[in-house]
Amino acid sequence: WMALSLTKQNLSLVRLSSDSAAPCTPHFDVVVIGGGHAGSEAAAAAARCGSRTLLLTHRVDTIGQMSCNPSFGGIGKGHLMREVDALDGLCSRVCDQSGVHYKVLNKCKGPAVWGLRAQIDRKLYKQNMQEEILNTPLLTVQEGAVEDLILTEPEPEHMGKCRVCGVVLMDGSTVHAESVILTTGTFLRGLVVIGLEMHPAGRLGDQPSIGLAQTLEKLGFVVGRLKTGTPPRIAKESIDFSILNKHTPDNPSVPFSFMNETVWIKPEDQLSCYLTHTNPRVDEIVLENLHLNHHIKETTRGPRYCPSIESKVLRFPNRQHQVWLEPEGLDSNLIYPQGLSVTLPAELQEKMITCIRGLEKAKIIQPGYGVQYDYLDPRQITPSLETHLVQRLFFAGQINGTTGYEEAAAQGVVAGINASLRVRRKPPFVISRTEGYIGVLIDDLTTQGTSEPYRMFTSRAEFRLSLRPDNADSRLTFRGYKEAGCVSQPRYERASLMKASLEEGLSVLKSIEFSSSQWKALIPEASISLSRNQRLSALDVLKYEQVDMELLAKAIPEPLKKYTDCRELAQRLKIEATYESALFYQQQEIKQVQQDEALQLPEDLDYLTLRDVSLSDEVREKLHFSRPQTIGAASRIPGVTPAAIVNLLRFVKTQQ
């Protein structure tokens, strides 16, 4: 058969296996199934690590498709994007080339919890992402629907586990692979719902994935069901923006990527968002028509933090809910009403929307809809995202019960790196909770599982002061370069230069000392409130809220002026100074956690029959299911008691 194979050098149809007498099955190091946000990152990461990679997806023209909101980032999600970028992932760079409204959220709080966010032009994002993917060396892209996995017989030397060694496509053709990554999003047994109408689909207009869902169930994976939804899209010219609250972008724009000093579009050319609210009439329409709304009757769990308007009306009656009117792109005629995800029949959606201020004459171009889909209990995967059941099979993205592009992208990078390392027989690349939000995300999923779509928040991280958006490169870029090989030379050099400049800057700041009265004379704006002769370093003075590097350098141009030439460096020095004292104590806590984390639990431990450790049957079952890799991970499994952890700890120490 003929397959569409698109690589940098060759944008043409190539014959992967011929009808001739000697058919040849193509063979890749890594095969990624699904070209969504997880799959794109996974495929690019595996290729960057040096693996010959095949991305198999339904349609090449949907690579980079944003199924729901036209925005990336936010609080917690923006942190994930900086970490994906630190590992040389794609989404942050693509957002810097495709945004139409950049804004840092949480600016009134400390820089540890600032949330980089941008409205994105859907069309540009897709174009730029496809260009990245199609120009990645070692990466081939092929259209096709994967129906089944090819597995070896259970291997006694691997505790009777089988190994994945390829995939079967819908047309019966096969591709062999050393590792396979599944990133099928909402497509496994996907069902699209509007009103009382339901039809099988992965998302509106796309076929669902049925065969693969059956294969996974047959293999013994525990499968659950989740749901989500999306709002209708409204014609821009039918909205009266003149009576609504306008929100403008930041000036200057802050880029997502460490590799960029600015974004592609000037602040004055960016688009605005508008805010309006629901009212009691919206509640009435929702409540009067519950009987016509299948999705809302469904008991499967939807996203708690991005709920439908129906769930908000039912959970918080008689309240006004925010509706953000967000542009879908520079030349798009569509507006996305964020906060109005709805599955009422289409005609009732228009009735509901036209009750809202500014939307009285609104015309719906595409109705809102819901999707219900299978996900796999993420306690069935390890922190490298490989499944416990099948060797070399990895899961990433919404298939693991998460929601959001950023959560998917973060898992994609980790799965791509690990699938490649597995082929090269190298140790897994695991990010711990102390190193990144990616570590928090994967640890939460693999130890606690999830019964509702999981979304990242800064409150999920214990070490927020250390896991900041500004320092993701110093946490992850060096590891990515040395241990995984997923980071390019220019990025590594840039991160090294920044690290050296930061260290030098901090030591220079520490070395400059004056008495507090001298500082008061030098920088009157700082309102330094210490006794006259107390000595302070420039680093201490930089901790004052009113002081930044520019002010310090104005007072002491030599040697500080050079640290203000780069805006990012000047800002990072200020942030380091702000958190210096608090970070000292946090680093002690991190060391303690890392000691626990380092205590590995043997991979072949049979918790159900293990007699040397006193554990309740319930704890045994939980450990057996989640198979934690470390004592730290075991201690976070709900229901695994502190007493059980102490017993396990004793046991592990006797085994060392």
Residue with tokens 């303690």: 592
Among 230, 372, 466, 630, binds ligand FAD (CB under 6 A): 230
Q: Which one, of 342, 121, 120, 323, lies nearest residue 231 by Cα?
A: 342
Among 44, 81, 146, 509, binds ligand FAD (CB under 6 A): 146
> CA distances (Å), 20 to each of 1, 13, 59, in order?
10, 17, 27
Stretch that binds ligand FAD, among 111-119, 396-404, 464-472, 586-594 (CB under 6 A): 396-404
3-state DSSP percent of the chain in helix, strand and coil, to 5: 40, 20, 40
Quote the least distance from Cβ 196 to ligand FAD, whole Å: 18
Cβ-closest residue to ligand FAD? Answer: 36
CA dihedral sign, ordered 502, 508, 510, 513? negative
Give the span between the Cα atoms of 532 and 517, in whole angstroms: 5
Identity of the residue, 192 or 552, whose beta carbon is nearer to ligand FAD in the bound complex: 192
* Cβ neighbours, 10 Å, residue 641: 13
Site for ligand FAD in 355-374 (CB under 6 A): 371
Among 44, 46, 56, 486, binds ligand FAD (CB under 6 A): 56
Site for ligand FAD in 408-447 (CB under 6 A): 408
Helices marked H in 424-565:
437-448, 472-479, 489-511, 516-522, 538-542, 549-555, 557-560
Is the CB of residue 110 less than 8 Å from the CB of residue 102? no
CA dihedral sign, ordered 465, 467, 471, 475? positive
Identity of the residue, 328 or 576, whose beta carbon is nearer to ligand FAD in the bound complex: 328
Binding flag, residue 28, ligand FAD (CB under 6 A): no
Quote the least distance from Cβ 228 to ligand FAD, whole Å: 4
* First-to-last C-alpha distance (Å) of the chain: 55
Site for ligand FAD in 62-121 (CB under 6 A): 62, 67-69
Among 6, 91, 120, 212, binds ligand FAD (CB under 6 A): 212
Identity of the residue, 37 or 622, whose beta carbon is nearer to ligand FAD in the bound complex: 37
Q: Is 219 exposed, middle or buried (0-12, 13-18, 19+ CB in 10 A)?
A: middle
Query: What are the tokens at 604?
Result: 């072949």
Amino acid identity at 17:
S
Among 405, 481, 519, 544, binds ligand FAD (CB under 6 A): 405
Site for ligand FAD in 172-211 (CB under 6 A): 183-187, 202-203, 206, 209
Quote the least distance from Cβ 66 to ligand FAD, whole Å: 7
Is the CB of residue 523 less than 8 Å from the CB of residue 541? yes
Sequence-separated (6 or more) residues with CB below 8 Å from residue 374: 188, 189, 213, 223, 224, 225
Quote the least distance from Cβ 388 to ligand FAD, whole Å: 20
What residues pair up with 305 in beta bridges, in sequence order? none
Site for ligand FAD in 596-615 (CB under 6 A): none
Task: Kindly write out the interface string for residues 240-259 of this chain, putting x where it contacts ligand FAD by CB under 6 A and - elsewhere.
Answer: --------------------
Residues in binding contact with ligand FAD, number by CB under 6 A = 39
Quote the least distance from Cβ 455 to ligand FAD, whole Å: 6
Reduced to 3 states (helix: H, G, I; strand: E, B; else coil), residue 553 is helix
For ligand FAD, the binding residues (CB under 6 A) are 33-39, 56-58, 62, 67-69, 145-146, 183-187, 202-203, 206, 209, 212, 228-230, 303, 306, 341, 371, 397-398, 403-405, 408
